[in-house]
Structure formats: structure tokens, C-alpha cells
Amino acid sequence: MNFLLSRNWNTKVLEPHAQCIARSGARTHVSHSSEGQVIDLTGSALWRHPWFTDPAWNPKQNRWEATVNPGLVNGEDPLVPGAEIDGLDEPGLLDAKALPLHRLRSVPGEEERVDPYFAALGVREPENPFSISALGRVTLDATTREDENPLPPRALVAMDFYLTVARATYEPQVSVVDASGTSGQVVDYSVTFNTDNLRRVGPRARLMQAAKFPAPRIPTFQDRLAGDYQAEGEDRQLVSTVYLLSPPNQLAGEPDATWTPYVRHAIFWNLAHAARNLPPQNAKPQRFQGTGLPLADMLIGPWLALQNELYQKVLNAFNTTSNEGRFWTV
Amino acid sequence: MDIRDLLVRSGDPVLPAVNRLALAQRALRLLPGRGILLSQMPGGVSVSARSAVRGFSGAWAVALSGRSATISLGFVDGLEPILDGKLLSGVDAKGNPLPEGAPRLKLTPEEFTPAGKSWIAIRAETDPETGRILAPKDQPPKLTLVQTKTLFSPEKDTVALHAVALLRRPAKDKQGLGTVHQIAFFDYQHRAAKQEGRWRHFFTPA
């Protein structure tokens, strides 16, 4: 029978334990609880650029949150739908406090590979794609390429903060007129000026969060010519991406305090945004006479240089019927 | 957390001591607070504190003082604004510092929106033909700074407004000047484009 002597317990077992008790140093504060030791930076007056995103674990709410340093768009702070402020349905970013991170995606995922930075920390590309789980529950395919990365495997989740600004849209309407009995010879073209989203949402920017930033959909020439796309009614700009990295050898579970946050900022300064938001100059219907070829030929005509003059007319018309706005640094 | 609670004496049962130690081990987990980054690495935990970079202030930095504001030097198209008839930098035509110091922008609590917002803005008068900022030879440019409660309705389309700072006060406070939120950090170049018969003005960092 083996005995554990009390002096061995009090020295060999407890001494290493005692050495792990954190103490406050310069400009730091350590608070102890049954759940762990929280280290805070104190007394600092850090300069942070607009949109600086600072994720932190909230031990009281048991969740990850992030503060976004107020940035301004056209001189005003964006509204933050869903922010938790007493008495305000939709506070501005100047009033919003920490925002809970409640939409997370797994990385790698569909159309997203592991950044080499995280690959060097142990995040691996699965051999087979895996499903993106909801609310941060990570399920990673067990079959990873062990030989390529000797580090202990880790899971990675991420989410995006982004800005939206509503604007009017121009929606081209294209119809084929069968004037001579041969379908597709004549095309009628008109533009609808739609301000529904602008009137409903208003011109002030909004700070949103999503598992994945919905990149602006820019319609192609074919989309415009065919008139079969739905204008989005808003412009979007990525603000930052928050990543949460699991401890080594942990490939499942909801992110908790043991995970490590990383932030990739996309913008660093205040912004201006402008869209035309005026009726287009060529809103009146126009008619383009083809050369007897069907509409399908007209679609590929520009590349074949068979109908350059007609193509140029159509292109000129469409170039003045776009209302995509622009963000720029101020 | 007191390590003495975990000490044992000869004859003490082992299992309760182990249980106490397990709970104490949980309490030793390091958790990151504000400004702290913990990185769990195979060899241990790395603790990083964000560096305290102080004092960045670019062009147009606004500081409130009483019922007025001082604004640090900034340029638009290489032109220095005129405030209260003086160069914003507070020097005379020969470059000598003015005895009264840099000019101040007088602020008024009336120039706030009902929501408690006001802006300090660059105000530029532009040529109705070319759209460029008026800068007659041997005269100061038509470029100054103003307090305004609207950025979108200048009196004429030849007048350009561009906010450099937002003043914000609680909506209930009708007399205060609130706090400053800096918007602009850079010198600017100004461009104007005529659209639908009206000038539109754009300020981009130079």
C-alpha cells in the first residue's frame, strides 16, 4: 500500500498550486473567484482608433462580448439594432455598451479557408467540409491531416461586424417587344426609382453583426441587361472580424473564457458615405432596335464585337442607372 | 483563496483534501479582463496587455475650454483656415505667434439639434464656375470653421460643410456643450462635382 505523507502533500502538491495564484502588478488588477482569476488592465488612457473592436469574456453573463469604439458615418454614430440599453429601442454606438457575440461561424467553412496565422496555431483544414453549427457549437470533422500540422489541434469560430446604409435603388426593367413577328428584335428599357428601403430605414448608418459579412452583390452587365436582379437598397462595409480560438486539443464546445480572441479590423477611421439618391437622368423609357438577332445573340454580342454600336448605347444607359453608394475615409 | 485551507495534517483523510484541491484548481483558471489578451499555448498561458499609446491627435483636434473650442491646425487643398480673422495656427502673416494665442471658436448651446448633437465643421466657399475653394490673391481664403446643427443644408450649393468633430450632450441638457467626438484626423483635399445642376462637395484625406 502506498501512503501520501502530509508533508509531501503540503509541499510537493500545494507549492505548485500556490505559485499559480496571480497577483496584481503595475496597472493591472486581479480579482479571484471560484470560477477563475480575472486580469484587468487599469488606469490606462489608451488611444483607440474608431471602430476598434475589443472582445472580452463576461463572467457574469457567461458569454463573449465586444465593444466597438464609436466611429461615425457622415458625422453621426451608427444605430445598433439589438443593443441592450434601458429605455432605447435602437441606441446609437455612442450609447451602446458591450455587444454580445451571438452569431458565430466555424472556420474553415464554406468558401473560407484557414488563415496561415491560425494554421500556425493549430487550426486545421478538414479533409471534408463540415457543417456550420449555430450559436457557436463547433463540430469539426475528425479526419484532419495530422502529418501536415504537428501542433495540438484547435477550433476556430468567427463573426463579423459591418455597417449598412440604406439608399434608393434603380431597377432596370427590360422587355422584349415582338414587333415584326420574330421574337427578340426590339428591347424596351425603363428604370424604376425605388426609395422604399431608404424611407423605411432612414439615412443613418447601422452597425450590424452576422456570422458572415454579406458582401455587396454587384450586378453584372448581363444581370442589368436581363433585368432579373433585385437591387439591394443598402450599401455595406465590413468593420471587423472577431475570431475565437479554442485551447489546444479542444475541438468542440461553446467558446468560453478559455478561448482566445483575435480581431482583424477592416476600417480604422471615420467614414463618409454617398449615393446619388436622386432620380436617374434616363428614367424615361428607351427603346433599342436590334439587328434581327434574338436577344440571346445580343447578350453575347458585345464580346463578339458584332453589335458594338447597340452595345455601347445599352452600356451608356446602364452606367447612369446605378445607385451603389461609396464609403470613404474622412 | 487561502492556501492554508488546503493544508493537511497526519491522519487527515485524503479524499476531502483532493476535492478541495480540485475546486481550488478551478479557481486558478486565468480569465482575460479589459485590455488583457490571454493566449493558451501548449507550453502555458501567455498574458499580454495592450500597449498604452497616448497622445495621438491628428489635424483638426478639437478641445473644449469653457464656451469655446480650440482646433489644431489642418489644411484643405493646402490652404489654412481663417478663424475670427486670424490664421488657425495663431501666427501672423510673418509667422510670429500672436500674443493672444491661437483663435478660438465660440460655441453656443443653441446650435444643437433636439437630440443633443452639434458639429464643428469646415466651411468653404467655392467658385460657382469651377467648384474650387475661393482663395483670392493677397486675400485670406474663404475657408473657416463654424459650429452648426446641420451638415446637409448649406445655404447655397457653393458652400461646402465638412464636420471635423461631433459635440454631443444629453437631450435633457439644454445649456451644456457636451463632449467631443473627433471625426477628422487628416488634412483634406476638396473636390466638387456638378450633379443635377447642383454642386456636390467631397473632402478626402490628402
Cα–Cα distance, A108 to A158 (Å, whole number): 10
Report the 10 Å Cβ neighbour count for A119: 17
Alpha carbons B16 and A1: distance in angstroms, whole number: 20
Q: Indicate the Cα dihedral angle A107, A113, A115, A121, nearest 10°.
A: 60
ipTM of model: 0.74
Q: How many CB atoms lie within 10 A of CB A13?
A: 15
* Burial grade of A167 (CB within 10 A; 0-12, 13-18, 19 or more): buried
B-chain residues near A261 (CB < 8 A): 32, 37
CA distance B164 to B123: 10
Considering only CB atoms, B54 lies closest to which of A47, A54, A247, namely: A47
First CA to last CA across chain A, in angstroms? Answer: 76
Q: What is residue A100's predicted lDDT score, i.e. its pLDDT?
A: 93
Cell numbers found for residue A197: 428601403
- What's the rounded Cα separation, in Å, for the pair A232 and A218? 9
Q: Considering only CA atoms, which of B152, B180, B175, B177 is closest in space to residue B164? A: B180
**Mind listing the pLDDT tens digit for each residue in B134-190?**
999 888 999 999 999 998 766 789 999 999 999 999 888 888 899 999 999 999 999
Least confident of A239-243, A324-328, B110-114: A324-328
According to DSSP H, which parts of B12-101 are helical? 14-26
Contacts of B178 in chain A (CB under 8 A): none
Length of chain B: 206
Element (H, E) at B144: strand B143-148
Contacts of A152 in chain B (CB under 8 A): 42
Average pLDDT over residues A58-65: 90
Amino acid residing at B177: L
**Other CB atoms closer than 10 Å to residue B167's CB: what's the count?**
24
Check residues B17 and A155 and name the one with the higher pLDDT: A155
Q: With an 8 Å Cβ cutoff, are A56 and B183 in contact?
A: no
For the cut 90, the answer to whether the pLDDT of residue A38 exceeds it is no
Q: Does residue B113 or residue A22 have the better pLDDT?
A: B113
Q: Which strand ranges, in their side-by-side order, compose the sheet holding B62-65? A: B62-65, B68-71, B105-106
**pLDDT (0 to 100) of residue B169:** 92
Cβ(A52)–Cβ(A266) below 8 Å: no
Question: Against a cut of 0.95, is the pTM above it?
Answer: no
Answer whether residue A19 shows pLDDT above 90. no
Residue A245 pLDDT greater than 90, yes or no: yes
- Mean pLDDT computed over A90-94: 89
Residue of chain A whose alpha carbon sits nearest to that of B184: A330
Greater model confidence, B38 or B186: B186
pLDDT for res A252: 84
Span A176-188, pLDDT tens digits: 666 555 544 566 6
Instruction: Provide the mean pLDDT of chain A.
Output: 78
| Ranges A25-29, A309-313, B62-66, B108-112, most confident | B108-112
Return the pLDDT at A163: 97
β-strand A326-329 against A271-274: which pairing, if any? antiparallel
Provide the CB-side half-sphere exposure for A279 (13 A, CA): 7
pLDDT score for A143? 44
Q: List the single residue in B with minimal CA-CA distance to A260.
A: B39
A118, A108 Cβ separation under 8 angstroms: no
Higher pLDDT, B185 or A144: B185
Question: Which positions in chain B touch A44 (Cβ < 8 Å)?
Answer: 35, 50, 52
Query: Residue A172 contacts by C-beta under 8 Å, 6 or more apart in sequence?
Result: A189, A190, A191, A192, A224, A227, A318, A321
